[in-house]
Amino acid sequence: MTATINRAPSSFPATGRDSVRTIALDPGLRGFSRDQAQTGTPVAHAVQRPLRVAFVGNSLPRRCGIATFTTDIERAVHARPDVAQTAIIAMCDPGSHYDWPQSVRLSIAEDNPDDYRAAADFINRGGFDVVCLQHEFGIFGGASGNYVLDLIAALTVPLVTTLHTVLAAPSPTQRVVMNAILARSARVVVMARMGREILTRIYDADPARIVVIPHGIPDAPFETPERAKRQHGHEDRKVILTFGLISPGKGIETMIEAMPAIVAAAPDAVYVVMGATHPHLLRDAGETYRDGLMARVRALGMEDHVVLINRFVDRPELLEHIAMCDVYVTPYLVAAQLTSGTLAYSHGQGRPVVSTPYWHAAELLADGSGVLVPFQDAGQLGAAVITLLCDDQARLAIGRKAYAASRPTTWAHTAERYVDCFRSACRMEGLHLVETARAGAVPQAAAPGHAAA
């Protein structure tokens, strides 16, 4: 058994829970007395009292987008006055060891099936009201990540699942895993409308259970780039930025190919690529991909106009680099990208964005708060960047529009929507258990294929 507890479960303050007798046979009926379960009358304050939420997913200091997202949403939910306790159950990839923060109460070794069952037991015994699973096939062990199904099947509290990827053409094993997660989840969160459309069309998911909550963003003030440029040594330059873990598929090659034309029109332009090489790519191929990018930069004679910064930065430094850019680019290569945290963060800081039309970008920038260009088209990508770099007024107008449009997605607003979703899941699970009790059956946690309806 390699599941490890980072710190012992803390004792919780009284929040009204103890004033209601619960059905001892099933922790899932917290908030309903035996008589109330039989009559179907819920206790109002059981839904309104402060919640205790367990998040399952990656966590910082692990280097990946889901780790950043899980850490950010846990912090935002924890900060709410209507939340009593939060904890992260963090996935640990093979061969890695992390110095977990205090928010991580338990870690799961990705490739150890026993750890998943131990995590479910930890959650069930920990007094949590709801679990929020951050799902991506690649972060869980087993065939298409199916080890996580043991965890969710054993839960005795409601499950809310955030899907970071929704596949329109899943393999047979991926479909089995996704169907089981959908069946077990009282609510499913996706970050773009396309996710809801795919779930209902491809997986026959119940649309009433699907909630679209856009990717959260820091609530940073709007500012023009001059201050940050001076601080980072890029004064008198027009800065184009891409950030995030570096790997094929991000389209960085396309942007590098566009740089000679951009420099011809704007000789002071510099393209900054901020981010460490993706850990899995680094493990499997070393820095071969990054070396290839730099070789192409040299072949094009763009050494003075392309900068690759090979490090994973924390949020303050990241926000500073976003603040210094005149144009942000996400030239991804394929449409099937449901969410991009880098796009959300840059758009949320009021940076003019030029992007290929992958799903998230197509939805986010449809209001004119950014510019969309075709996939793998260096000519049109370069032309769009040139237009913005050479028109200060248009660039500032698009940036202000992006900043205004993104205010409803700050982490505080995102946390509010998640808590509403958690309470909805608790109500849904409670009603299912009430119906079960009315029928005279011993209430049990819903298993895959038999979720609360």
What is the number of alpha carbons within 13 Å of residue 202 lying toward its C-beta? 19
Q: Tens place of pLDDT for every residue, the chain, 453 residues?
A: 445 544 333 333 322 322 222 222 233 333 333 333 333 333 334 457 899 999 999 999 998 899 999 999 999 999 999 999 999 999 999 989 999 999 999 999 999 999 999 999 999 999 999 999 999 999 999 999 999 999 999 999 999 999 999 999 999 999 999 999 999 999 999 999 999 999 999 999 999 999 999 999 999 999 999 999 998 888 999 999 999 888 888 999 999 999 999 999 999 999 999 988 888 888 888 889 999 999 999 999 999 999 999 988 888 888 898 999 999 999 999 999 999 999 999 999 999 999 999 999 999 999 999 999 999 999 999 999 999 999 999 999 999 999 999 999 999 999 999 999 999 999 987 755 445 444 544 444 433 333 332
DSSP 209: G
pLDDT of the residue at 54: 98
Do residues 54 and 134 make contact, with C-beta atoms less than 8 angstroms apart?
no
Peptide bond into 61 cis (omega under 30): yes
pLDDT of the residue at 104: 98
In terms of C-beta density within 10 A (0-12 exposed, 13-18 middle, 19 or more buried), how is residue 168 classed? middle
pLDDT of the residue at 394: 95
pLDDT of the residue at 432: 54
Q: What is the dihedral of CA 13, 18, 20, 25, to 10 degrees?
A: 110
The angle at the Cα of 76, spanning 106 to 250, to the nearest 5 degrees, equals 85
pLDDT of the residue at 8: 33
What is the number of alpha carbons within 13 Å of residue 227 lying toward its C-beta? 8
Q: How far apart are CA 351 and CA 222, in angstroms?
A: 9
Alpha helices for 266-377 (secondary structure H)? 279-285, 288-299, 315-324, 341-348, 359-364
Q: How far apart are CA 270 and CA 260, in angstroms?
A: 11
- SS3 of residue 276 by DSSP: coil
Pairing of strands 104-109, 4-5: antiparallel
pLDDT of the residue at 122: 98
pLDDT of the residue at 227: 94
pLDDT of the residue at 216: 98
Domains (range + CATH), the chain: 4-216+411-438 (3.40.50.2000), 226-408 (3.40.50.2000)
Strand segments, DSSP code E, in 207-313 are 210-212, 238-243, 269-274, 306-309
